Amino acid sequence: MSNSKKVILDSGIEIEKIYTEAKVEKEMPGQFPYTRGVHEGMYRDKPWTMRQYAGFSTAEASNERYHFLLNNGVTGLSVAFDLPTQIGYDSDDAMADGEVGKVGVAIDSLEDMERLFKGINLEKVSTSMTINASGFILLALYIALAKKQGADITKITGTIQNDILKEYAARGTYIYPPKQSMRLITDIFEYCSQEVSKWNTISISGYHIREAGSTAVEELAFTLANGKAYLQAAMEKKLDINVFAKRLSFFFNAHNHLFEEVAKFRAARRMWAHITKELGATDIEAQKLRFHTQTGGSTLTAQQPMNNIVRVTVQTLAATLGGTQSLHTNGFDEALSLPTEQAASIALRTQQIIAEESGICDTVDPFAGSYYIETLTNEVEEAAWKLIHKIDAMGGAVSAIEQGFMQEQIARSSYAYTKAIERNEKIIVGVNKYQSQEKNTTPIMKIDHAIQVEQIARLKLFKENRNQDLVKNCLEKIATQASGHENLMPLVIEAVEAHCTLGEIANTLRAVWGEYR
How far CA 286 is from CA of 32, 276, 324, 378, 468, in Å, comes to: 11, 7, 17, 23, 44
Per DSSP, the residues of 280-309 read T--SHHHH---EEEEE-GGG--SSSTTHHH
The pLDDT value recorded for residue 337 is: 86
Q: What share of the chain is helix, strand, coil (3-state, %, to 5)?
A: 50, 10, 40
CA-closest candidate to residue 373, choices 4, 12, 10, 23: 23
CA-closest candidate to residue 284, choices 302, 268, 292, 272: 272
The pLDDT value recorded for residue 2 is: 58
**Helix, coil or strand: residue 493:** helix
The pLDDT value recorded for residue 443 is: 82
Question: pTM for the whole thing?
Answer: 0.93
Rounded Cα gap, residues 353 and 349, in angstroms: 6
Contact present, 2 and 17 (Cβ < 8 Å): yes
Query: What residues contact 267, with CB distance under 8 A and at least 6 apart?
Result: 35, 220, 377, 378, 380, 381, 384
What tens-digit pLDDT sequence spans the chain (517 residues)? Answer: 456 789 999 999 999 999 999 988 889 999 999 999 999 999 999 999 998 877 778 899 999 999 998 999 888 898 999 999 999 999 999 999 999 999 899 999 999 999 999 999 999 999 999 999 999 999 999 999 999 999 999 999 999 999 999 999 999 999 999 999 999 999 999 999 999 999 999 999 999 999 999 999 999 999 999 999 999 999 999 999 999 999 999 999 999 999 999 999 999 999 999 999 999 999 999 999 999 999 999 999 999 999 999 999 999 999 999 999 999 999 999 999 888 889 999 999 999 999 999 999 999 999 999 999 999 999 999 999 999 999 999 999 999 999 999 999 999 999 999 999 999 999 999 999 999 988 888 887 777 788 999 999 999 999 999 999 999 999 999 999 999 999 999 999 999 999 999 999 999 999 999 999 8
Q: Residue 115 burial (CB < 10 Å; 0-12/13-18/19+)?
A: middle
Contact present, 442 and 305 (Cβ < 8 Å): yes
The pLDDT value recorded for residue 3 is: 67
Which helix (H) or strand (E) covers residue 479, if one does?
helix 468-482
How far CA 251 is from CA of 217, 244, 282, 328, 357, in Å, comes to: 15, 17, 24, 11, 26
Rounded Cα gap, residues 233 and 365, in angstroms: 34
Over its C-alpha atoms, the chain yields an Rg (Å, rounded) of 23
Rounded Cα gap, residues 265 and 277, in angstroms: 19
The pLDDT value recorded for residue 139 is: 98
Which helix (H) or strand (E) covers residue 15, if one does?
strand 14-15
The pLDDT value recorded for residue 437 is: 85
